[in-house]
């Protein structure tokens, strides 16, 4: 019998994933990173990760999934239990590595204990953007050219494990998503647009990193993303089909359509 646990971070994604699953999983959250709209069954700390994994096994859990945003935690040496202390070098390498490299270490720790790690594509494929125009507004020729340029930029950055998004206008890169995330990127573009050419137009491109483990940390957009793209005077959003989660899809599409913002996904 399969029993699942969902290991949560901040945001609305964990609740959306639970709503798409046939049975409620065991809801677990890293201390300080509670999900929105979900009652948490188990709170854990990285310093006691080995004990937490043992707790999952004792509860009959055979599969785990990860969802939600988590910042790199600061570890308290006084809190390590003896079992977790043995894997401190691996935990430190995960914390100080790039996003994908660090998550691969965490995944391996669960898999080595016999737990299967599942991804959104397995558990809730309807949350992912399908190929094509998602709303009523199709991209213009310049939007498609900017999207192509954006994907080339993200492809070039993938080997160094940096970012899942960038903004391109008139073939010029206005910004690249780094450790501070999508909101910071779009806010930065919005704050500088009046001072730079072009002052309007452009595309926010969102993709998974090349070589990324697609079971965790998939790129995600939601209604707030649309609002921030409007504030940044963009004309479109281009997603990687099958690799980007769209939260509250109906609201996302309605807001994009109302603003005349093209929203589409490419293979």
pLDDT digits 0-9 by tens, 1-37: 679 999 999 999 999 999 999 899 999 999 999 999 9
71 dihedral zone (left: phi>0; alpha: psi -120 to 50; beta): beta
Question: Which CATH number is correct for 4-123, 3.90.180.10, 1.10.357.10, 3.40.50.720, 3.40.50.20?
Answer: 3.40.50.20
Residue 22 neighbours by CB distance under 10 Å: 6
Minimal CA–CA distance to 213: which of 80, 91, 107, 57? 107
What are the domain boundaries of the chain?
Answer: 4-123, 128-266
Average pLDDT over residues 210-222: 88
pLDDT of the residue at 67: 92
pLDDT of the residue at 99: 66
Residue 256 has pLDDT above 90, yes or no: yes
Q: Do domains 4-123 and 128-266 have the same CATH topology?
A: no
pLDDT of the residue at 74: 80
Distance CA 247, CA 222 (A): 5
* Structure confidence at residue 43 as a pLDDT band (50, 70, 90): very high
CA angle 241, 208, 159 (to 5 degrees): 140
CATH architecture assignment, domain 128-266: 3-Layer(aba) Sandwich (3.40)
Residue 100 has pLDDT above 90, yes or no: no
Average pLDDT over residues 243-251: 96
Q: Which of 145-149, 212-216, 217-221, 234-238 has the lowest mean pLDDT?
A: 212-216
H-type helices in the chain, by residue range? 13-20, 49-58, 82-85, 88-96, 99-111, 120-123, 141-157, 181-192, 223-231, 249-258
Q: What are φ and ψ of residue 84, in 5° steps? A: -70, -30
pTM assigned to the model: 0.89
pLDDT of the residue at 265: 98
């Amino acid at each position: 019998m399969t029993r699942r646990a969902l290991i949560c971070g901040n945001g609305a994604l964990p609740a959306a994933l639970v709503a798409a699953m046939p049975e409620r999983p065991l809801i677990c959250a890293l201390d300080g990173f509670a999900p929105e709209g979900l009652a948490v069954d188990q709170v854990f700390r990285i310093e006691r990760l080995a004990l937490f994994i043992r707790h999952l096994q004792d509860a009959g859990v055979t599969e785990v999934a990860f969802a939600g945003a988590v910042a790199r935690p600061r570890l308290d040496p006084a809190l390590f239990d003896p079992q977790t202390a043995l894997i401190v070098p691996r935990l430190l390498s995960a914390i100080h590595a790039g996003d994908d490299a660090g998550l691969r270490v965490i995944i391996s720790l669960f898999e080595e204990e016999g737990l299967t790690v599942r991804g959104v594509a397995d558990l809730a494929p309807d949350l992912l953007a399908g190929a094509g125009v998602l709303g009523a507004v199709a991209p213009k020729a310049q939007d498609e050219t900017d999207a192509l340029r954006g994907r080339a930029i993200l492809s070039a950055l993938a080997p160094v494990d940096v970012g899942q998004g960038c903004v391109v206008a008139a073939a010029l890169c206005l910004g690249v998503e780094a450790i501070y995330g999508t909101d910071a990127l779009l806010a930065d573009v919005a704050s500088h647009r009046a001072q730079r050419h072009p002052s309007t137009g452009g595309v926010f491109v969102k993709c998974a990193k090349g070589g990324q483990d697609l079971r965790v940390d998939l790129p995600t957009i939601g209604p707030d993303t649309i609002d921030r793209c409007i504030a940044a005077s963009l004309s479109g959003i281009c997603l990687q089909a099958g690799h980007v989660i769209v939260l509250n899809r109906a609201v996302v599409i309605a807001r994009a359509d109302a603003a005349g913002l093209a929203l589409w996904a490419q293979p």
